[in-house]
Structure 1
Amino acid sequence: MARTKSFDPDDAVAKAMEVFWSKGYARTTPQNLVDAIGIGRGSLYNAFTGKHDLFERALRRYQAQETARLINLLDGPGSPRQRVHAALTLVLEAACADTDRRGCLATNAAVELGGDDEAATLLVRRIFDRQHDAFRGAIEEGQRAREFAADLDPRAAADFLLATINGMRVLAKVDPHPARLAALAETAMRAL
Structure 2
Amino acid sequence: MSGRPKEYDGTAVIDAAMDVFWTNGYEASSTQALCERTGLGRGSLYHAFGSKQNLYEQALRRYQELGLEAQTAILEGPGSARERLRALLQWGVDGDLEPAKRRSCMALFSVMERSSKDPVIDRINRAYVNRLEAAVCHVIAVGQRNGELSGDRPALEMARAFLASYYGLRILGQAMPDRAFLADVLEGTIARL
Task: Give the TM-score normalised by the residue count of structure 2.
Answer: 0.94
| 1:74 and 1:83 in contact (8 A); partners too | yes
| 1:101 and 1:172 in contact (8 A); partners too | no
Q: Which residue of 1 aligns with 2:149?
A: 148
Q: How many residues align?
A: 192
Q: Which residue of 2 aligns with 1:34?
A: 35
1:174 Cα deviation (Å)? 2.3
Structure-2 change in CA distance of 1:135 and 1:65 (3 Å) = same
2: CA distance, partners of 1:105 / 1:7: 24
Secondary structure of 1:133's partner? helix
Q: Which moved more, 1:68-77 or 1:96-105?
A: 96-105
Q: Which residue of 1 aligns with 2:16?
A: 15
Q: Which residue of 2 aligns with 1:135?
A: 136
Q: Which residue of 2 aligns with 1:119?
A: 120
Q: Which residue of 1 aligns with 2:63?
A: 62
| 1:164 and 1:188 in contact (8 A); partners too | yes
In structure 2, what residue type is equivalent to 1:154?
A
Secondary structure of 1:151's partner? coil
Deviations 1:93-120 (A, max 9, x none): 1122255332000000001112211111
Secondary structure of 1:76's partner? coil
Task: Give the TM-score normalised by the residue count of structure 1.
Answer: 0.94
2: CA distance, partners of 1:135 / 1:126: 14
| 1:104 and 1:169 in contact (8 A); partners too | yes
Structure-2 change in CA distance of 1:90 and 1:133 (3 Å) = same
2: CA distance, partners of 1:56 / 1:173: 24
Q: Which runs of 5+ in 2 are unaligned?
A: none
Deviations 1:12-69 (A, max 9, x none): 0000000000000111111110111111100001100110111111111111212321
| 1:95 and 1:168 in contact (8 A); partners too | no
In structure 2, what residue type is equivalent to 1:81?
R
1: CA distance, partners of 2:87 / 2:143: 14
2: CA distance, partners of 1:172 / 1:100: 13
Identity of counterpart residues, as a percentage?
A: 35
In structure 1, what residue type is equivalent to 2:23?
S
1:182 Cα deviation (Å)? 0.8
Q: Which residue of 2 aligns with 1:163?
A: 164
Secondary structure of 2:150's partner? coil
1: CA distance, partners of 2:57 / 2:93: 26
Deviations 1:101-151 (A, max 9, x none): 320000000011122111111111111111111111000000011001121
Deviations 1:147-176 (A, max 9, x none): 011212211211111111211111122221
1: CA distance, partners of 2:88 / 2:103: 19
2: CA distance, partners of 1:134 / 1:4: 42
Secondary structure of 1:162's partner? helix
Q: Compute the RMSD of aligned alpha carbons.
A: 1.4
1:57-96 alignment, distance < 5 Å: 57-96=58-97
